[in-house]
């Protein structure tokens, strides 16, 4: 008998604004696979922390609270990849997750090793049975190092900041391009220098600079890698 093949897993990593979410959603739709936005999971923890008045810089006691909080939160996803909603303990918090404050807090909480362990455990649990297209910052390096396809998307800082700025303005968020660029710079630094699971391409990952590419071109290049 042929061995039963485990569900396919496509890992898409990269910094903010590289096009991970849009690419992952389209790839998931075309392949009929589930889509998992792991960055949204850290944003959920960040929003939950802010609601409890936890703010940076974090003290040791705050880090302990965050780890406990991450372990207790129920995080779920509904809808198709193009219109996915994120639930926190049954509450739809999708819109709240995309604010600049949530972005900053997500980067802060993701630097706490205990929080990362809780999220990795949940990510593996969610994808174990169905596989899927999973995007984040450590999917190919830590969460699923044996993924069938590993892609690392990147783009110039200016291009990434413009994409993020356009997204926020389109959602009615008041901000400036300079503010978005500075927040992105700080987040890149935190993500790439943290001791636990720093942002970097995974071994064997296909590195793709999306600066001069359309979404369709990026999606086609990722699909071409799928066995």
Indicate the burial class of 209 (C-beta count within 10 angstroms; 0-12, 13-18, 19 or more): middle
- pLDDT recorded at residue 5: 60
Q: Which of 44, 11, 17, 221 is nearest to 135 (CA)?
A: 11
- pLDDT recorded at residue 2: 41
Paired with 195 in beta bridges are none
- The structural domains of the chain, with segments of one domain joined by +, span 9-223
pTM of the model: 0.85
10-residue mean pLDDT profile of the chain (227 residues): values are: 67 94 95 93 95 85 91 93 94 91 89 93 90 94 95 95 88 87 88 84 96 96 96
Torsion of Cα atoms, 180 then 181 then 187 then 190, to 10°: -150
- CATH number of 9-223, picked from 1.10.3090.10, 3.30.360.10, 3.40.50.300, 3.10.450.50: 3.40.50.300
CA distance 223 to 96: 31
User: For residue 40, what are the contacts with CB-CB under 8 A and spacing of at least 6?
Assistant: 77, 86, 97
CA distance 137 to 193: 13
Helix pair angle (38-51, 60-72), 10° resolution: 120
């Amino acid at each position: 008998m042929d061995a039963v093949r485990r569900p396919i897993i496509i890992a898409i990593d990269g910094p903010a604004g590289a096009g991970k979410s849009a690419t992952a959603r389209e790839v998931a739709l075309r392949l009929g696979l589930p889509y998992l936005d792991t960055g949204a999971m850290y944003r959920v923890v960040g929003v939950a922390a802010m609601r409890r008045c936890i703010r940076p810089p974090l003290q040791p006691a705050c880090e302990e609270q965050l780890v406990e909080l991450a372990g207790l939160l129920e995080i779920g996803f509904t809808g198709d990849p193009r219109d996915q909603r994120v639930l926190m303990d049954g509450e739809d918090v999708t819109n709240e997750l995309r604010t600049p404050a949530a972005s900053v807090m997500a980067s802060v909480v993701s630097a706490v090793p205990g929080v990362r362990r809780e999220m990795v455990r949940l990510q593996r649990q969610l994808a174990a049975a169905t596989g899927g297209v999973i995007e984040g910052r450590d999917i190919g390096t830590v969460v699923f190092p044996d993924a069938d396809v590993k892609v690392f998307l990147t783009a110039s800082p200016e291009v990434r900041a413009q994409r993020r700025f356009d997204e926020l303005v389109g959602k009615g968020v008041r901000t400036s391009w300079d503010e978005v660029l500075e927040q992105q710079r700080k987040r890149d630094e935190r993500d790439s220098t943290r001791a636990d699971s720093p942002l970097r391409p995974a071994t064997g990952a296909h590195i793709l600079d999306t600066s001069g590419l359309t979404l369709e071109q990026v999606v086609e290049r990722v699909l071409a890698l799928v066995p």
